[in-house]
Amino acid sequence: MVISATTQAIGSTPVFKFSKENYPLPKDSVIYAKLEHLNPGGSIKDRLGKYLIEEGLKTGQITPKTTIIEPTAGNTGIALALVALHHHLKTIFVVPEKFSVEKQQLMKALGAEVINTPSEEGIIGAIAKSKELAQSIPDSYLPLQFENPKNPDTYYYTLGPEIIQELGNQLTSFVAGIGSGGTFAGTAKYLKEQIPSIRLIGVEPEGSILNGGVAHPHKIEGIGVEFIPPFLADLPIERFETISDDEGFYYTKELARKSGLLVGSSSGAAFAAALREIERLPERSCVLTIFADAADRYLSKGIYL
């Protein structure tokens, strides 16, 4: 495929098949992983960045003079910066200090301004700061992925159809991490419409609150919530799997050493949860998970040490 813009390479990512031939899975079962870390910006959020900016341009919410402002843990910022660069738009991202240095460097490499908020304020503090900036900067656009229904729409209209086209109706379960909730909600809604029997399993790190736990810091990045995402409200979710930092990092290393997959710690957590789901299912079941981003943005976090 020949392209003239990096945005043209977003989506149509491959699916990796784990089976007894290449991984010690029980019960003749299969785990499929959608390799979203192979998007040009290194994460599944490239789909969101492209969708939000293109929709904003269509509706007139974004003009050539617009400044895009967004609170982000990093990947959405990288994605928005990548697409904004293509359209010659200015970007400002508000990032809690605790998130990876690499992500912040990548945003800056793509021309973005990065403003840090105190780690202890979490993403809620970043959201508040972003809203403050949007009020003070003329012709600014605040997509606000945590509240914007276009977030799940992105994955309902792109990722969901790709999965069905590639895998058909053979899937038993969909297991994926939850951060903003957009990827999970949009994809799950589409899959449930196509495969009514599919089980929906959300994944969070210890320190997230979906299973009723108390919010506290965790090393797994990209998933985990400090408040319940509104996009999950009407989904028939089977359960949430809570994964420790140690288990998530363990499987992140396993995926690199056994399968050559250089993915982030949220992917390790998703794979751990997919393995748990396989144990609950009958023989010859098929579980789908998402490997959301690449390892290169977490090397300073010691994921391979």
Query: Cα Rg for the chain, rounded, in angstroms?
Result: 18
* Pair 7, 50: CB distance under 8 Å: yes
Residue type, position 202, single letter: G
Residues with active-site annotation: 45
At position 254, the amino acid (one-letter code) is E
For 181, the 3-state DSSP assignment is coil
What span, in angstroms and rounded, lies between the C-alpha atoms of 61 and 82? 19
**Nearby residues of 57 by Cβ (< 8 Å), 6 or more positions away:** 87
Give the end-to-end CA distance of the chain in Å, rounded to a whole number. Answer: 37
Q: Which residues pair with 71 in a beta bridge?
A: 94
Q: Look at phi and psi of residue 138 and say left if phi exceeds 0, alpha if psi is from -120 to 50, else beta.
A: beta
Strand (E) or helix (H) holding 70: strand 67-71
CA atoms within 13 A on the CB side of 133: 25
Give the distance between the most distant pair of CA atoms in the chain. Answer: 59
Judge whether 271 and 255 are in contact, CB under 8 Å.
yes
Residue 158 makes CB contacts below 8 A (sequence gap 6+) with 11, 47, 51
